Structure 1
Amino acid sequence: MKKLNLIIISILLTLTLAACGSPSGPSAPEAAPSGASPTPEQIPAAETPAPDSDITDAGPADTTPAASSPDGEFSNPSLTDSQKEFCEKIIAAVKSKDLQALSDLCNYPLYVDLGEEGQVIETKEAFLALDPEKLFTDAMVASVTGCDLDTVTVPLSGITLCTDYDQPSITSSYNEAGELGISGINF
């Protein structure tokens, strides 16, 4: 009798767990294969933003679909043509040590850390008041101009131009208006 009770309890437990863990009905989305990004049809409606919602990380319409990166953030596998063109302008400005040209590529406010204390630069005038000698160091110029744009990915935090992540870098991201601009300079 105990054996029969254990079998019945096991069956009921198995059915209960199976019912809790699996989607019901034909309208439930199928799970994406391991390592693959879900398609829009696989994302439940509650997780998709409404068309009128305020999304501040939204980029222009020509961004490529998201793919999973090793650190768990979503990123584009490579730069779009417009992102690559923007990065080439940054590299040219750094190579020529042109503070004016670099200031034209910034989204204000932006964070600047020249190796001292970091600061938020609110305006173009404040950016132009920075000491070019402190900004365009040999390490900064080498790191940004040595960056291989064919290997740059686009994580949610922005496009970072540098030869290695422990080197000086310039990060660009989209502002609320969807414009790509420099959002951070770090040593």
Structure 2
Amino acid sequence: MSPSAQQPRPPQVTFSGWLVVGGSVIVLLGAFEAMAALRTLETREMLQQFLAEAPGSSLGLSFEGAREMRRVAILVLGACATAAAVLGFLALRRDRFARVVLSVLAVPIFVAGSIAGGFASAVVTVSIVMLWLEPARSWFAGRPLPERFRLPREGGAARRDRDRPDPFAVPPRHDQQPGQPGQPGP
């Protein structure tokens, strides 16, 4: 195995990947809740208010059409969130195909999430975009990470930090005998 293929996963990729997985689970739970509330009085009032004001009034939708559009958006959102949770886990294992499919799913997750409601769909979309930025781009390609994204190793910076004196260390008192803490010296 080449040294670049053995490089550890950057913390930014770990954060983004787990944010995709966790956010997708939250989006899926929100889709279940939205589907259960689809025929409630609160949803009816919200849709009627949306259709009465711009931009909803210019769509030419009836109330039943708007409710059906919301139902389809919730179903699409649930299906895409389920797939994104699985693909996010695969992306954490450096699966390039999973990252590409996640990118395709980001669009319906964002659009359906804005129709069905919820902030988590936007978080999932941003997390998917983060999988295409550095250092994730280099890690997925198997290239060495750019210098600014590398973690300090036992070599250079870590050794220099260890050899520096601790600025918060309490200096020893000169009036103490060694081995007798708190006792005044002779």
Q: Which has the greater radius of gyration?
A: 2
More helix, by proportion:
2
TM-score (norm. length: structure 2): 0.26
TM, length-normalised to structure 1: 0.26
Where is the strand percentage greater, Structure 1 or Structure 2? 1
